[in-house]
Amino acid sequence: MADLHAAGAPAALGLADPAMAQAQLERVITDLGRVYRERNDALRALARAHHEALLRLSIAAEFRDDDTGVHIVRMGFLAEALALALGQNAAWSKLLRMAAPMHDIGKIGVPDNVLKKPGPLTREEREVMNRHAQMGADILGASEVPLFKLASEVALSHHERFDGSGYPRGLAGAAIPLSGRIVAAVDYFDALTMDRCYRPAIQDKQALEMMAGERGRLFDPVVVDIFLDRADDMVALRDRINSHRPQFSALLDDEPLGAAVT
Amino acid sequence: MKKILIVEDQPDIRKLIRMTLEFEDYEIHEAADGAFGLRMASAVGPDLVLLDVMMPGELDGLQVCQRIKSDPKLAGLKVVLLTARGQARDREAGQLAGADDYLVKPFSPLQLIETIERLVAAV
């Protein structure tokens, strides 16, 4: 090495040479870019795996409550459509589509003798049943990922009523998060218009009239008005989902509303 | 794809900025001085302009920023100033010129990409 210097070899092989310094910086930035993309891909994969696990748990909770599991898929798409109709931006609406299907995940913690009881619940059983909102929020809430924060908010607030008579917190009006107000209305309509073991589906027209009757009581009047205004679109979307039977992966994927069900 | 215009007189720095922006999927355009940058802004219609403050020529970065922000045809165009100066009054001058954000050289690649992501996500 000493000989090289002695022979007058260029000292400019180090960072003192501006061209070398620039080239080295470019290599570092290239590597940083690779690490940046790998990190983002890994975070996305992690969030997706977490979402998938929780969706599967939601489906398990839903199956226990006797349905085919399509209810929660419809909930996602109907909530997204209603959010868009209410003027919410596409990103939030899509997040709600992914979050809404997990609203009843807390039912996984409700014992069968309460969840599946055919007759009316006693006061104590009702209290046990109503705990599913808080349990769902707890299951979903241990995360800083926006999707799970929204899902937790929905689980906690989807049984609140606009007039303040709901649970678990008895919130009223705008104190109820918009996500909860949207999901409450969509859940009501979809639950009425599907077959249950104890009754056949209620006709759409009658269900819409029942929803109108709850305007300002159970539901936000603005949410009801927009739902009724777009009732034809909502029913058509629901029927498209029923005929295409998309799996819950349709809720997982980052695709626009139309792609999964058209 | 969102369009970003880099206005920076130093080719080496311009290249480092471009390489950083290529972490994400942006359509990237470059200009080497303020006057050309301003013409590019009208011609290309970018979503965001990254603007060096100190540039030789008729227009410095602050002046370009003022013109962008006062041109109704360029309404909504975000501007991030990039400068070697980080004094409080330089930030103030940037704010007065209407800049949406202000980054200091030597720039942090992660801070740059995160600032741009945040601003163009809101467009």
A4 belongs to a structural domain: no
Cβ contacts (< 8 Å) between A36 and chain B: which residues?
A: 23, 110, 113
Give the chain B residue whose CA is nearest to the CA of A30.
B19
Determine the Cα–Cα distance for residues A196 and A180; give it in Å rounded to an integer: 24
- Residue A106: domain span: 49-261
Which value, in Å, is the radius of gyration of the alpha carbons in chain B? 13
Q: Which of B12, B15, B109 faces A32 most closely, judged by CB atoms?
A: B109
Determine the Cα–Cα distance for residues A207 and A194; give it in Å rounded to an integer: 11
A26/B15 Cβ within 8 A: yes
Give the chain A residue whose CA is nearest to the CA of B16.
A26
Per-residue pLDDT at B123: 66
Burial environment of residue B89 by CB neighbours within 10 A (0 to 12, 13 to 18, 19 or more): exposed
The DSSP line for A58-78 is HHHHHHHTSS-SHHHHHHHHH
pLDDT range class, residue A61, cuts 50, 70, 90: confident
Determine the Cα–Cα distance for residues A159 and A168; give it in Å rounded to an integer: 7
CATH, residue A194: 1.10.3210.10
- Interchain contact B25–A (C-beta under 8 A): no
Per-residue pLDDT at A259: 40
Per-residue pLDDT at B11: 96
ipTM score = 0.88
B16/A26 Cβ within 8 A: yes
With beta carbons less than 8 A apart as the criterion, state whether B57 and B35 touch: yes
A26/B19 Cβ within 8 A: yes
Q: Closest Cα partner for A191 from A153, A230, A159? A: A159
Per-residue pLDDT at A242: 87
Cβ contacts (< 8 Å) between B14 and chain A: which residues?
A: none
State pTM to two decimals.
Answer: 0.74
Cβ contacts (< 8 Å) between A37 and chain B: which residues?
A: 23
Q: Closest Cα partner for A159 from A201, A131, A124? A: A131
Is the pLDDT confidence value at A10 over 60?
no
Give the chain B residue whose CA is nearest to the CA of A26.
B16
- Interchain contact B22–A (C-beta under 8 A): yes
Q: How many helices (H) and strands (E) does chain B have?
A: 5, 5
With beta carbons less than 8 A apart as the criterion, state whether B61 and B35 touch: no
With beta carbons less than 8 A apart as the criterion, state whether B90 and B84 touch: no
B12/A22 Cβ within 8 A: yes
What does the mean pLDDT of chain A come to?
87
CA atoms within 13 A on the CB side of A141: 13
For the residues A135-147, what does the mean pLDDT come to?
87
Is the pLDDT confidence value at A258 over 60?
no
pLDDT in tens, A196-206: 777 889 999 99
Q: Which of B12, B15, B23 faces A33 most closely, judged by CB atoms?
A: B23
Give the chain B residue whose CA is nearest to the CA of A23.
B12
pLDDT in tens, A207-236: 999 999 999 999 999 999 999 999 999 999
Cβ contacts (< 8 Å) between B12 and chain A: which residues?
A: 22
Give the chain A residue whose CA is nearest to the CA of B123.
A89
A151 belongs to a structural domain: yes
- Residue B29: domain span: 2-121
Q: Which of B12, B15, B19 faces A33 most closely, judged by CB atoms?
A: B19
Q: Which of B12, B15, B22 faces A33 most closely, judged by CB atoms?
A: B22
Is the pLDDT confidence value at A120 over 50?
yes
For the residues A21-25, what does the mean pLDDT come to?
94
Q: Rounded to 5 degrees, what are φ and ψ at B27? A: -90, 120
Here the tokens at position A92 are 């939030």
- Interchain contact B19–A (C-beta under 8 A): yes
Domain count along chain A? 1
Is the pLDDT confidence value at B12 over 80?
yes
B16/A29 Cβ within 8 A: yes
CB pairs under 8 A between A and B: 23
Quote helix, strand, coil % in chain B, to nearest 5. 45, 20, 30
DSSP structure class, residue A200: P
Per-residue pLDDT at B90: 83
Q: Closest Cα partner for A102 from A142, A53, A160, A67? A: A53
- Interchain contact B23–A (C-beta under 8 A): yes
Determine the Cα–Cα distance for residues B119 and B80; give it in Å rounded to an integer: 9
- Interchain contact B39–A (C-beta under 8 A): no
Beta strands B48-52 and B26-31 are: unpaired
d(CA B108, nearest CA chain A) in Å: 11
Q: Which of A25, A36, A37 faces B16 most closely, judged by CB atoms?
A: A25
Cβ contacts (< 8 Å) between A30 and chain B: which residues?
A: 19
A6 belongs to a structural domain: no
Domain count along chain B? 1
Q: Rounded to 5 degrees, what are φ and ψ at B2? A: -70, 145
